[in-house]
Amino acid sequence: MARFTDRTVIVTGAAQGIGEGYAKALAAEQAKVVVADLNSERGEAVAKQITADGGTAVFREVDVSDPESTAAVAEFTVGEFGRIDHLVNNAAIYGGMKLDLLLTVPWDYYKKFMSVNLDGALNMTRAVWKQMSKQGGGSIVNQSSTAAWQYSGFYGLAKAGINSLTQQLAHELGGSNIRINAIAPGPIDTEATRSIVPGKYVDELVKTAAIKRLGTPEDLVGACLYLLSDDAKWVTGQILNVDGGQVFRA
C-alpha cells in the first residue's frame, strides 16, 4: 500500500548512494519527490529515472550549508507541489572526505565540513518547518551514523551532533505536530565508502557486526519510510540503528 500518496518530500543528497535510494523508494510509494543536491548532472539523472519509472520527481540544486539556498529549495517545493510533508536530511561531505585528526585538520576545512554535515540539517529544518506547521504537521528523518559512538574524528563528532540535534528539535517541533528522528547506519557499501575507507578497515568493521556483511542502501529504506510515515505517528526524537548489530547502546 502506498503510504505517501499526495505527499511531498525533499531528499537532500539524493543524487547518488543512500539518498538516491530513499528518493526512489519514496517515489515508488507515490510521494512527489524533490531530488535536492549540489550535483546537478547526477541529480537531474535521478529525477528523470524516477519519472521514467512512473514516479513524480524534480531536481533542485541546493547547498545545505547556506540558509538562503535551503530557503530557496523550500520555496521551490511549495511552488512546484503546493506543500512540504516530509524532509530527509541526507546531504553530507563523505566521499572524498579528508582523513585527519581533530587536533590537526585544517580549520577552514573543519568549519566547512560541519556547516554541511551538522548545520545543514538544521538549515533545512528551519527552511521547512513553518510550511509543515501551517499544513498541520509533517515528519523529518536525519542521517546519522554509528560513527557517533566510535572513534571517528570530526565525522563522528558531526554525527553525534546530529543525534543531539534530532532530540532537541523533537521538543521544539512537537507542538507543531512535526516529528523528527534519525537513522544511524553502520558501514554501507556505497561508492563513497569504497572511495574513502580502506578495504582492510572495512573487513574489520564487518567482523565486529552480528550480521557479517556490509549494509546496502536498500537495507536503510524500510527504516526511512517507516519513520516518515504515519506508522510512526507517536515516534519522535529517536535514533534508530540500522547496522547489522555493529553497535550496542545501553
**Looking at the annotation, which residues are catalytic?**
155
How high is the pLDDT of residue 165?
Answer: 98
> Concatenated DSSP letters for 135-195?
HT-EEEEEE--GGGGS--HHHHHHHHHHHHHHHHHHHHHHTTTEEEEEEEE--B--HHHHH
Q: Which residues are CB-neighbours of 198 under 8 A, at least 6 positions away?
A: none
How high is the pLDDT of residue 196?
Answer: 66
Please tell me the pTM assigned to this model. Answer: 0.95
* CA nearest neighbour of 188 among 208, 206, 163, 207: 206
Contact 2, 30 (CB under 8 A): yes
Tens digit of pLDDT per residue, the chain (250 long)? 689 999 999 999 999 999 999 999 999 999 999 999 999 999 999 999 999 999 999 999 999 999 999 999 999 999 999 999 999 999 999 877 788 999 999 999 999 999 999 999 999 999 999 999 999 999 999 999 999 999 989 999 999 999 999 999 999 999 999 999 999 999 888 776 666 666 677 778 788 889 999 889 999 999 999 999 999 999 999 999 999 999 887 6
How high is the pLDDT of residue 2?
Answer: 85
- Record: fold of 8-240: Rossmann fold (3.40.50)
How high is the pLDDT of residue 181?
Answer: 98
How high is the pLDDT of residue 104?
Answer: 97
Contact 174, 166 (CB under 8 A): no
Contact 196, 97 (CB under 8 A): yes
Q: What CA–CA distances, in Å, run from 32 to 4, 59, 69, 118, 184? A: 8, 11, 20, 26, 25
How high is the pLDDT of residue 96?
Answer: 78
